[in-house]
Structures are given as C-alpha cells and as structure tokens.
Structure 1
Amino acid sequence: MPTYSLALTLAITAPLLAPGYLLLRDAVSTPRAYLTDAAVGLTEAAPRALPQDFFVAVASHVVDGGVVVKVLLVVGLWLAGWGAGRLAEVVVPAAGLGGQFVAATLAVWNPYVAERLLQGHWSLLVGYGCLPWVAVAVLRLRDSGGGTGWAVLFWIAVAGLTPTGLMLAATVALTTCLAPGVGRSRRWCAAISLGAAVVGALPWLVAPMVSGSLSSSQAAGVTDFAARAEPGLGTLGSLAGLGGIWNGQAVPSTRMTLFALLATGVLLAVVVVGLPTAVRRPGARPLLVLAVVAVVAPAVMATGPGLAAVEALVRAVPGLGVLRDAQKWVALAMPGYAVAGAAAVATMARRVPRGATAAVCCLALVAVLPDLAWGVGGKVASVRYPAGWSAAAAVVNADPAPVAVLPQMSMRQFRWAGPAPVLDPLPRWVSAEVLTSGDLNIGGRTVPGEGSRAREVERLVLSGAGADELAAAGVGWVVVEGGSPKLSLPVAYADDDVAVYRVGGDRPAASHRGTMIAAHLAWLAALLAGAAGMTAARRRSAVH
C-alpha cells in the first residue's frame, strides 16, 4: 500500500521533482526563509500560516526552502493514500487488499486534492493526509487499548502545520472517539485528542493574544469565499463530489464542463455501493456521519441565510474568519468516503471477484479526473526565480529594516511564473519586516486585509512621498516588483524584474518574540514527543 500510494502521488507531483520552487497562488517557497516577526505571528494579519512559516524558516537553514516545501507536499499526499488504505484495513477488513487500493485511490485522486493544489494549499494537504491516520490512532485506543496516545499526539501535531489542518484532525479525532470499543473510554480518548489539539494550536492561539491581530474585517470576504457550484451539479452536488472550491480559476479543466457531472456520479457510485457494508461496521459509522455533515454544512453556508449567519459570526468572533473558505472543510468527508469506497469491494464480493471490483473502481476514479495527473495538467510545476530576486534579497538582508512593497495587492503576476497570480515571495525571502496589507482582488472587488499600517505606507509611496517622510513612517526600504512604477528615491538595486530603493528608516522589533518562540517550540516538542512515543511503543510491542 505505501508503494501504490507513492506511485499515485508521484503521478500527480512529478513536475515538482524538477529544480525550482513551488510558486502558485497561495503556495510560496524561497531558497531561504527567516524567523521574522511575521513567521512567528507578530503581525497585524491573522495567524493563518503558523507554525508552517516557523518550521520552514528553521528547516531552510539546513535544506533549501524549496525542497522543504515540495517534500512536505509529496509526503502529505502519500500519507493520505497510505493512511486511507490503513484505515480501510482496520475498519472493513473484509474488503481485503483490493478495498485498501480503492480507499487509497479515492483519498489521493479526487477534486479536492486537485483544487487545493491549484490554490497552492500545500500545508493544508499535509493536514489532509493525516486525517485517516488520526482516525486509525483513535480507533486503536477505543477498540482494544493496544494503541497509545502518542500516535494521536503525533498525527494531530503534524496536521497542525496549519491551523485548518489541526482543526480538521481534531474534529476527526473527537468524532472517532464516539466509535464503540472495549479499550480506552470515550472520555479518555477525547481528553487525549483535545490536549494534543490545544498544544498543537498554541502558536496561533497565543499570537492574537500578544499581537491583537484579529479583526472583523475578514467578514467582508464571506460571500467571495463561499463554496461554488460546478456545471450541472449545484453547490451540494459539487461538494458531495469533493469539489466546489470558491476560486473558479483553481479548478481542473474537466471540472469546468458537464463532465464534472459524470465524474461526481462515478465517485459517489463507488461510495454508495459500499455503504450497506460500511454502515454495519461500528468503527465506520461516526466517520460516515461526519462525511455527511462535511458535505451538507458548507452547502448550507453558501445559501443566503447561511452567508448572513457566517458573516455575523465572524464579525462577533473575529477568530472564526477561518470559516470563510467553507469548501475546505469537505476534507472531513475523506475518511468516511475512503472507508465506504473500500467497502464497495466487500459489497460486490458475492457477484464479482474482489480484484476485478477494485480494479474497476480505481481505474474509474482516475479516468474521470485525468487532468489531475502531471501537476494537474502541468499547472503545478517548479518555477525558477530570476537572478535579480536573489540580489535584491541580499541587499535588504544586509540591513534588515522594514520594507514597503509594490504592487499593492497581496497577489501579483510575474511573466516568469506562469499565468496564475501568486502571493508575494518577498516576505519569506528577507529577514526584515515586509509591510503587507493582505488586500485581495476577487472578481474585480477588493477584499480588505488586516494590514492597516501597510495600507497607509502604500498610500504614502504612491503619493510620491520623499525618503524623509517614508523614513519617519518607519520604512527602511521600498521594493517594486515587476519593474514599475519608477520612484524618485535612492536606488540600491534595479533590473527588469525588481527594484530596491533605500529609504533609511527603521522600527523597533515587535515585543513578545520570546513568548511566540516558546509557543512554537511547544508545538515542535509535541511533534517530537509523539514520534518518540510511537517508536518506543512499537519497539515494546515487537519485543513482546
């Protein structure tokens, strides 16, 4: 099963094996990253990328940052397939090896993976890959007590590379605690799951407390980030088929036509055929219920009343801005879908040989999403930075004072990076504070971010403010990406791709860095302790 899952993963990610960097929409990798204030959550923006930025910054001191990100992405998808097969083995053993192959195929080869790859959500896919392993770890505790809480701690910590991943993993863990069993009690399993989740969440729980970074401005984007209906399916049908991401540009070509209807029908047919067998398995029932909720809830959130309720909730509790992108929660359906897909082999066993059923199901799942192969039709591939970017970063790193950057919006397009917009790589490439507003342009409408100071500095720069005025505002450098506009400021470096202007201002470093570093180290300690505990438990088991 690990080999098959890796083969599926490499069939998707093969273009990333070439030299270069993952740079696509929200995915940004650079040769080196630094433990800046932003990397530990001390900014105006909500802590969306913690602790992933911390981890990549630390790891990039040893390995090239582009390699770190690409390896994590490949490992995440590999874990999804391998874990789904393992979950099928635990929950529906009657499905045999054929059922495990179906579960692995369904977990890796589906629209959710394709759309999140195109959106650049590599760290979310790492969390996604941990979900079946979380379910297996909790089921082992509930079933016989033979498992250990270390496995739960480890997998939740790995999923916690991003806040959404941790929330997904914690939800799967708590849901799986409801499965019947004669091992550890439900309360004990729930306590372990919640404890692991709290420790894993410390980086992004502590950040807003010390930086005051949460605001109600995220409510402005609720409608823009709602789940989207695909051709012939409607919102509910799109979500049931594991599609429906808010960004219509981050969608495989086959999902933009009525072929999406056929593809969804095939995926759901595999799941539905296995339901009669799956529902008879006690360990599967909580996961199946969770799958239904994971599909229906985002669909309800995309309705008029649902959008109004979510917007009101985000305004009342700014930290719940994470709910805006409702389709990402469909990931919670994957463990249940994988179990039901595996059970299809057992359901058909009386009429069709298991191997034949498994082969048909696997081939059908791949055939209805052919453009997931080779980097979603070549769209997810390695990108090479122009030499000027390294030179510009070196200039700033020699004197890491705060940086104002143009263009204004968070997303920009580079001729050398392909047709899709990308997040600005500069904040991850320099050891200085880069002022970013977080503003997004979606369908011609600006969704404001939380960076009010950056927005004020941008206005100063665009109004033609001189070096003295910008320095007084705490700006040390102005970087213009893409070659325009030209500014009347002292030039430190310039070429056709990027220009660096020296201003000379500075600003004291943010306070509470020690607190945030400690929060990240707590997450890292949980990760390492979980891994060590799992290893020790396996050795003891092998001895006995």
Structure 2
Amino acid sequence: MTRRSAAVPAYALVLALVVTAPLLGPGYLLLRDAVSTPRSHLTDTALGLSQAAPRALPQDFLMALVSQVVDGGILLKALLIAGLWAAGWGAARLADTVLPDVGLPGQFVAATVAIWNPYVAERLLQGHWSLLVGYGCLPWVAVAMLRLRAGQTGWSGRAGWAALAFWIALAGLTPTGLLLALVVALVCVSAPGTGASRIRCAAGAVSLAVLCALPWLVAAAVSDSLSGYDASGAGTAAFAARAEPGLGTLGSLAGLAGIWNAQAVPGSRTTLFALAATAVLVVIVAVGVPAVLRRRSAVGLLVLAAAAVLLPAVLATGVGVAAVEAASSVLPGLGVLRDGQKWVALAMPGYAVAAAGAVVTLSRWRIGARQVVTATALCAALIAVLPDLAWGVWGSVRPVQYPPGWAAVAERIDADPHVVAVLPADAMRRFDWAGPAPVLDPLPRWLDADVLATGDLAISGQTVRGEGGDARAVQDLLLAGGDPARLADLGVGWVVVEADSEGEMGSAATTLDRLPLEYADEHMRLYRIEGTPAPQTNPRRGLLIAAHAVWLAVLLAGFVGQISVGQTRSVRPGR
C-alpha cells in the first residue's frame, strides 16, 4: 500500500479513534444494550436456546468463543472500533469505485459522512455495538457486488465471492446487520456490468445470507422464543422513530437521526441546532446527487437511501405502527421492523457516495479553488455540526471497572452452574460505578450458567413485556416471598441480589432469609438454594452449535479466500 493509498484508511481510523477514544483505556463497556464481561460462555442462552428472542446471535457465540483467549472487554471494544473504521474506509472505497473522478478529496468526504453522523452517535449511546459493526460492512458489501457485476477477473471469481461472503457474514453478527447487508447486496445486483449475471449474484447473496442466518433461524425454529413476543400497539409505538426539535420525523430521519430513545441522543441534537445540522448534511448530499446520477451503477444506492428515509417515517405514523403490530401478531419475527430508525443505516452508502460527488459538483460550479479545499471545507462542516460525537459522545461512551464482588460471585456459580435468578426484578440496571445511564444486567453474559431474565422493559412509563415466561414465574415467586422449595422445583439453584441497583424487591426478603448466604459485600449477595436437581443438557445444543459453526465457516472462508486469492487490478463498474 502506497503512502497515497494509505491516506484514506488512516484518516478513517483517526476519525474512528476520535469517536471511541475513551474506550482505549482499561475497563468494560457497560451502556444500555452494550455489555462486556471478562469472559462469557456457551450457555444455552448464548446459543439461542431460551425463551428470549434470538436477537444477539451469533454475536454471543463469537464472544463466548473468543473470550476464552482474549478478554471480553478488549474484544468488544476492538470490534466496535473496527466497525467504525470499516464504515469510513469502505465508504471511501465505494465512492472511488463508482465515482473515480472524486479522487482522494471526495473519498475523505465519504469517509466523514459514514463515521461522523447522528446515526453513529445514537447507536453508540444505545449500546448497539454489533449493529455498528454491521453498519460498517455495508459499503464493502456494495463494493464487492458492484465489482462482481463489473466482471473484474479476480473479483468475478473466488476473490469476489470470498469478499462478499466475509462482509455479509461479519454484518451477520446480529440479525439486523445481516438483513441490512442482504438488502444492499440485492440493490447493487441491479448495476450494469458484463461480469457475473444478476441472477447468479442475487442467488449467491441470498444463499450466503441464509447460511449466515442459520444461528437465529434454527434457534427460532427449535425454541419457543417468539411465543411471548409483545406485539401490542404500546410495544410497537414505543420503538417508532422520533422527531427532533424543529424537524418532523421525516426530517430527523433524513439527517440520519431520530432513534426512539430520547435519552440516547447527543446534546447537540436536543435543541434547534439539530435543524441546522440536518440542513448541512442534506444539502451536501443533495449537491452531489447530480454527479452520482451520471453513474448507473450508483443510482440504486440513491434509491435505497431515499427508501431508507421514507419507509421508517411511514412506520412511525399511526398507520405504520398498526401495520407492524398486525404483521408481528401473525409472524412474530417481523417484530424486527418495530425499531424503524435502525433501517436508516441503509441510507449511508448512498449518502456517502453523494457527499463525495459534491466535491465534483462544486468544482464544476467553480465553487472552491481546488477539490482539496472544497473537501476540507465539507469535512469540517460535517464535523462541526455534530461536535459532541467526539470523545465517546462527550464522555458518555467510556469503560468502567466491575467491583470485585462480581468476579467472586461468578467464580462460585461457575463451580456449580445451576440456573440463576436475579434481583431486583428490573431487566435494566443502574449502578453508581457504571455511570448514570441504565445497562442490561451483565450476569447472563458472564456466568457459565443460564440466568433467568424476563426481558421486560420500562419505556416512557409503559412496560413492554419480554418473552421470558418461565423467568417471570420465578420472579413473581420471589417477589411474593415464596417457598424456596418451589424455586428448587423450578430448577433454580442460585439467587443473586445486585444490592447496588435500584429496583423492585417486593417481599423477596421473606424468601432470602430462609436461604444460605454464600457471599455478601456492598455490591452483591449470593444465596444458594438447596435440593435443586442437576441441570439437564439441552438435546438441541449440538444442532445450535452446528448452525453457528456454519456461520463461522462462511466468515473464515471469506477472510482466508480474500487473502489467498488476492485482488487483481481495479475495474470500474459499468456506467
């Protein structure tokens, strides 16, 4: 790689590090849905054999596998930083692929748009690290498919398919990421070219996606994880896209913002400044659209960007909420649609290419003496209107240290891995040592035992019920001060009280006072339940491990295939 060709990936890495700088320090990311622990294990829950919907497959499998040799906190932070880096570098590569005349200046603008935007800020604050990894794969998926269609010798052969397989599989760390990657791949199939046929490309993308989806498809098929899904209007409406100050829902989405959780928003997007910030992004993209329209291979990305803004806006209306509710009640798997704003990620490849095209358009309009000056001004403007994305969204995304009691409790339970019940009853925790934001309970990802969790969430004063029916029965028994023998009959062997987290305890003290106390400090208390039968091995574990192994094989084969075959000289997609 020459110094010139290394400039863009270096710039993208710098941007990614500026965003995630606090995470370079020691500790673990604990923020809303982001939970990292020193180690995790291949429990039934990690494989999808629980009553919870398989939303975190195969990421939990990967974390359990790799954290045996790499600290889980380091692994999660590395994947998150790599995902953002991939987004910027891939957006620049995509811009160079479809708009070669943008040069390095346009590539720098594309990288800035991909990394420095409200979508990244909001998903960071929500803790959706694996979704951001999938987000970072999207431009690479587009590049791989466009080059397959273009007919490049290496890319139309094994190297091309290896690249497509790797990026689809990596995006498939989470079901949403896989679906995003598949949509981008299928949209790029429409590009003109003399390489692999459209039918072959589409069939290949779908086949790869199905293989990578096996972990959660099999988990959904063999468990009852979707039977308790809450398809009520309240649950669906709570996750609809949200309008920002001065902007309607459509305007917020056009600015790559509008996440449902108003607490997971950078401060600059909570005032009328959001209007100006959105205007800057949208104007830059709009200015570049004419340059992109001249390239037939990129038109599909623009259409996809428009749809990725318009459709979530529709889903946020009363009619849209009712439609998602009705569809989810018939097919619970469609509940993936209810967080409509996350699909705005599909706009990023088109936005990035159009923003790069703005450099060419402004040069043709004789605005800006040189493309370098123009690109510098555009990058500066994009960063200036979202200043609080820097330094972990103004310090909100930072590592924390677990109190020693967590490791002590984990050691005792792992030595005798019976099912664990946890109090207080809330699924989300607020720990003084972890900061003001709530976080999912880390215990299920730390222990080598299955931890009961209802999945219930309190949103805007409403409770959105999760799928954990068995967990709810144990929780209700504890809150009612029930007989410990009944807990043993239900297979529960341990009760953990996270004493430094507020939440509902009910009459649980009546039950806990009758249990042997195994460990206690200011943060944690651990109680043993006597007479619990030995846990039985789920007969479907082998099937789920095999499904995950298929995903892992696609990921590794794609990675090795790219390295072994290599990339031949660049051939531009058809115009």
Shift of 1:398: 1.0
Is 1:342 aligned to 2:370, yes or no? no
Separation (CA, whole Å) in 1 of partners of 2:356 and 2:274: 23
Q: Deviations over 1:65-103 (max 9, x none)?
A: 000000000000000000000000001111111000000
Of 350, 370, 375 in structure 2, the residue corresponding to residue 358 of structure 1 is 375
Is 1:144 aligned to 2:144, yes or no? no
Is 1:178 aligned to 2:190, yes or no? yes
Separation (CA, whole Å) in 2 of partners of 1:4 and 1:218: 44
Is 1:536 aligned to 2:564, yes or no? yes
**In structure 2, what is the equivalent of residue 25 of structure 1?**
32
Of 207, 215, 232 in structure 2, the residue corresponding to residue 203 of structure 1 is 215
Shift of 1:462: 1.2
**In structure 2, what is the equivalent of residue 434 of structure 1?**
451
Separation (CA, whole Å) in 2 of partners of 1:213 and 1:8: 39
> Does the C-alpha gap of structure 1 residues 541 and 264 become closer, same or farther in structure 2, counting only changes over 3 Å?
closer
What secondary structure is seen at the aligned counterpart in 1 of 2:373? helix
Is 1:114 aligned to 2:121, yes or no? yes
Shift of 1:511: 2.4
Is 1:76 aligned to 2:90, yes or no? no
What secondary structure is seen at the aligned counterpart in 1 of 2:563? helix
Q: Deviations over 1:327-356 (max 9, x none)?
A: 000000000000000000011113122011
Q: Deviations over 1:412-467 (max 9, x none)?
A: 10111000000000001100010000000001111000000000000111111232
What secondary structure is seen at the aligned counterpart in 2 of 1:434? coil
Question: Which amino acid is the alignment partner of residue 557 of structure 2?
Answer: A
What secondary structure is seen at the aligned counterpart in 1 of 2:311? helix
CA contact (8 A) 1:158 1:527 kept: yes
Single out whichever of 467-476 and 164-173 deviates more from structure 2.
467-476
Is 1:213 aligned to 2:239, yes or no? no
**In structure 2, what is the equivalent of residue 523 of structure 1?**
551
Q: Which ranges in structure 2 are unaligned for 5 or more consecutive residues?
A: 1-7, 571-575
**In structure 1, what is the equivalent of residue 138 of structure 2?**
131
Separation (CA, whole Å) in 1 of partners of 2:490 and 2:475: 11
What secondary structure is seen at the aligned counterpart in 2 of 1:22? strand
Separation (CA, whole Å) in 2 of partners of 1:212 and 1:521: 22
Question: Which amino acid is the alignment partner of residue 206 of structure 1?
Answer: V
Q: CA RMSD in A?
A: 1.2
Shift of 1:180: 1.0
Shift of 1:112: 0.1
**In structure 1, what is the equivalent of residue 3 of structure 2?**
none
Q: Deviations over 1:146-169 (max 9, x none)?
A: 312111111100100111000000
What secondary structure is seen at the aligned counterpart in 2 of 1:291? helix
Of 280, 284, 290 in structure 2, the residue corresponding to residue 270 of structure 1 is 284
Shift of 1:395: 1.2
CA contact (8 A) 1:216 1:318 kept: no
Single out whichever of 101-110 and 279-288 deviates more from structure 2.
279-288
Is 1:480 aligned to 2:493, yes or no? no
Separation (CA, whole Å) in 2 of partners of 1:444 and 1:218: 16
**In structure 2, what is the equivalent of residue 66 of structure 1?**
73
Q: Deviations over 1:45-83 (max 9, x none)?
A: 110000000000000000000000000000000000000
> Does the C-alpha gap of structure 1 residues 262 and 541 become closer, same or farther in structure 2, counting only changes over 3 Å?
closer
Separation (CA, whole Å) in 2 of partners of 1:446 and 1:497: 27
Single out whichever of 113-122 and 528-537 deviates more from structure 2.
528-537
CA contact (8 A) 2:228 2:468 kept: no
**In structure 1, what is the equivalent of residue 304 of structure 2?**
290
Q: Deviations over 1:163-198 (max 9, x none)?
A: 100000000000000111111111111011111101
Separation (CA, whole Å) in 2 of partners of 1:466 and 1:313: 41
Q: Deviations over 1:296-323 (max 9, x none)?
A: 0000000011110010001110111111
**In structure 1, what is the equivalent of residue 330 of structure 2?**
316
Of 246, 251, 255 in structure 1, the residue corresponding to residue 265 of structure 2 is 251
Q: Deviations over 1:109-167 (max 9, x none)?
A: 00000000000000000000000000000000111243121111111001001110000
Of 471, 488, 499 in structure 1, the residue corresponding to residue 525 of structure 2 is 499
Separation (CA, whole Å) in 1 of partners of 2:222 and 2:352: 41
Separation (CA, whole Å) in 2 of partners of 1:482 and 1:200: 40
What secondary structure is seen at the aligned counterpart in 2 of 1:219? coil
Of 286, 289, 293 in structure 2, the residue corresponding to residue 279 of structure 1 is 293
Separation (CA, whole Å) in 1 of partners of 2:489 and 2:119: 47
Question: Which amino acid is the alignment partner of residue 40 of structure 2?
Answer: A
Separation (CA, whole Å) in 1 of partners of 2:452 and 2:476: 12
TM-score (norm 1): 0.98
**In structure 2, what is the equivalent of residue 192 of structure 1?**
204
**In structure 2, what is the equivalent of residue 54 of structure 1?**
61
**In structure 2, what is the equivalent of residue 13 of structure 1?**
20
**In structure 1, what is the equivalent of residue 236 of structure 2?**
222
Separation (CA, whole Å) in 2 of partners of 1:438 and 1:330: 25
The aligned runs of 1:409-428 (5 Å cut-off) are 409-428=426-445
**In structure 1, what is the equivalent of residue 5 of structure 2?**
none
CA contact (8 A) 1:404 1:479 kept: yes
Separation (CA, whole Å) in 2 of partners of 1:470 and 1:210: 26
What secondary structure is seen at the aligned counterpart in 1 of 2:297? coil
Shift of 1:262: 0.3
Shift of 1:219: 1.3
Of 73, 98, 101 in structure 2, the residue corresponding to residue 94 of structure 1 is 101
Question: Which amino acid is the alignment partner of residue 541 of structure 2?
Answer: R
> Does the C-alpha gap of structure 1 residues 119 and 539 become closer, same or farther in structure 2, counting only changes over 3 Å?
closer
CA contact (8 A) 1:216 1:316 kept: no
Is 1:160 aligned to 2:177, yes or no? no
> Does the C-alpha gap of structure 1 residues 145 and 541 become closer, same or farther in structure 2, counting only changes over 3 Å?
closer
Separation (CA, whole Å) in 1 of partners of 2:473 and 2:567: 58
Separation (CA, whole Å) in 1 of partners of 2:150 and 2:216: 33
Separation (CA, whole Å) in 2 of partners of 1:537 and 1:225: 44
**In structure 2, what is the equivalent of residue 300 of structure 1?**
314
**In structure 2, what is the equivalent of residue 470 of structure 1?**
487
Single out whichever of 484-493 and 389-398 deviates more from structure 2.
484-493
**In structure 1, what is the equivalent of residue 4 of structure 2?**
none
Shift of 1:410: 1.3
Question: Which amino acid is the alignment partner of residue 443 of structure 1?
Answer: S
Separation (CA, whole Å) in 2 of partners of 1:268 and 1:239: 11
Separation (CA, whole Å) in 1 of partners of 2:338 and 2:162: 32
CA contact (8 A) 2:228 2:469 kept: no
Of 373, 380, 385 in structure 1, the residue corresponding to residue 390 of structure 2 is 373
Q: Deviations over 1:217-248 (max 9, x none)?
A: 23131100000000001100000000000000
What secondary structure is seen at the aligned counterpart in 2 of 1:40? coil
Is 1:457 aligned to 2:474, yes or no? yes
Shift of 1:212: 2.3
- Give the paired residue count: 542
Separation (CA, whole Å) in 1 of partners of 2:209 and 2:346: 16
Shift of 1:541: 7.0
TM-score (norm 2): 0.93
> Does the C-alpha gap of structure 1 residues 228 and 539 become closer, same or farther in structure 2, counting only changes over 3 Å?
closer
Separation (CA, whole Å) in 1 of partners of 2:539 and 2:211: 22
Shift of 1:540: 7.4
Separation (CA, whole Å) in 2 of partners of 1:259 and 1:29: 34
CA contact (8 A) 1:153 1:192 kept: no
What secondary structure is seen at the aligned counterpart in 2 of 1:464? coil
